[in-house]
Structure 1
Amino acid sequence: MVNRTREAHGFELAELNIARLLEPLDSPRLAGFVAGLEPVNAAADAAPGFVWRLKDESTADATSFRIFEDDWLLVNMSVWTTHEALHAFVYDELHRAVLRQRRDWFEHLAEAVTVLWWVPAGSRPTVAEAQERLEHLRKHGTTPYAFGLRDTVAPPAPGADYAPQ
C-alpha cells in the first residue's frame, strides 16, 4: 500500500461496480435512474483522468451487459488514469446525487459490489475479467490483484503485472 499520488508508470486503473435492479429498467420506479444515465455518463466521459467506459454502441451505456449470469445485475466498468481521478468523479456532486437514490432502484447486496485493479495502459478489461477480479476480492479481501474503492494499492512495477494470490 502506498500514497495514491504515485504515478501509474504504464498502468491505468480499472473499476467495476455492479447493482441488482429492484424492477425492470423500463418500470416507472427506474425512470429516474434511466433518465440520469446520459448526464452521468457524459460527466464521466468529460472528467479529468477518464480513459474509457464499457458501453453498448447502440445505447451508449452498459445496461445491456450482465455479470454472474444474472439478468438483474447491471454492470458499470471504466478505466481511469489514477485513483485520484476516479475518486474525484465518484464523489462529484452529480454522481453523488445519483448515489443517494440507489436504494430506490437497487437491492442492497451484502458482498462487495465494487472492485478496482491495475491494467496496462491502453488495454481494456472484459466483463469476464472484471467478474474474476470481483470474485477474488470477495474471497481474499484486498490484495494488489483486486481491491476496493477506499483501498490504496500501488500500480505494478514497470513491465510487471499483479497475479492472483
Structure 2
Amino acid sequence: MPHLALYTFGVLTSPLADPSPRTDEFYAIGEAVYRRISQHPGYLAHAEAADGDRGVLFEADWGAWGEFAVPAWYGKGRTAETAALAATLSLWTDPRSAFDAVYTGPHRTALTRRYDWFERAGQPNHTCWWVGDEVTPTWQDGVSRLEHLHDHGPAPRAFTFSRSFAPDGTPVRAS
C-alpha cells in the first residue's frame, strides 16, 4: 500500500543559531509540535539527523533520507551559524491524517504565529506525493517535488492538501 510523503519548507526571518527569544520560542514550540505529530494517527516516520544537533542541516547524517537539500530559491546560509530555514520530510498513511495533524492541535496554533518566524514567500511551502510502502523519500525528492509544484502547479507528481491526487493519479476532492 502506498504512503504519502510530505515535504515542508520555509525561510526563517533569522538564522537558526540566532540566540534571540523569538528563535528560542520557535525551537520550543517546534519540539512540542513534533512530539504531538509523531503520536497522530496515520503518522509513520520523519527525517531525523543521526546526530540530532539543533540547527545542523547540511552537514548532518540523515541516513536513508539522503543528503539534505533545499530548493533553488533558498538564498541564505548553509552553515550551522547562518542557515535560516525550517524543513520537514515525513511519511503518512494518507492525506487526511497528514492534513489533520498539520491543521489541528498545537501545529495549528503554531501556524497562527508563522509570520513571527517565517518570511512571506511566493513559493509553495509544502508538497505531497505517493511512494511505495518500502520507499523512504529523500530530501532531494522533496525539493524536486516542491520545485515541480512551483513551476507546474498541482499534479500527481507533486500536489497540495487542497488539490490532491490518489495513488493512481486520479484527482480527489479535499474533504
TM-score of the alignment, normalized to the shorter chain, above 0.5:
yes
Q: Distance in 1 between matches of 2:129 and 2:55?
A: 19
1:87 Cα deviation after fit? 1.1
1:102 aligns with 2:114: yes
Amino acid at match of 1:67: V
Structure 1 unpaired stretches of 5+: 1-9, 158-165
Change (3 A) 1:47 1:61: farther
Paired residue for 1:68?
71
Change (3 A) 1:80 1:66: same
1:151 Cα deviation after fit? 1.5
1:54 Cα deviation after fit? 1.0
- So what's the TM-score if we normalise by structure 2? 0.77
Change (3 A) 1:93 1:48: same
**Do the aligned residues in 1 keep the contact of 2:2 with 2:132 (CA within 8 Å)?**
yes
Change (3 A) 1:49 1:152: same
How many residues of Structure 1 are paired with residues of Structure 2 in the alignment?
Answer: 148
- SS of the equivalent of 2:155 reads coil
Q: Distance in 2 between matches of 1:95 and 1:144?
A: 26
- SS of the equivalent of 1:43 reads helix
**Do the aligned residues in 1 keep the contact of 2:47 with 2:88 (CA within 8 Å)?**
yes
**Do the aligned residues in 1 keep the contact of 2:5 with 2:128 (CA within 8 Å)?**
yes
Root mean square deviation, CA, Å: 1.9
Amino acid at match of 1:124: T
1:102 Cα deviation after fit? 0.9
* 1:82 paired residue among 71, 75, 94: 94
1:48 aligns with 2:60: no
Q: Distance in 2 between matches of 1:89 and 1:112?
A: 19
1:125 Cα deviation after fit? 0.6
Structure 2 unpaired stretches of 5+: 58-67, 78-83, 170-175
Paired residue for 2:7?
16
1:66 Cα deviation after fit? 4.7
Q: Distance in 2 between matches of 1:113 and 1:102?
A: 11
Change (3 A) 1:95 1:61: farther
**Do the aligned residues in 2 keep the contact of 1:112 with 1:137 (CA within 8 Å)?**
yes
1:57 Cα deviation after fit? 2.6
Paired residue for 2:173?
none
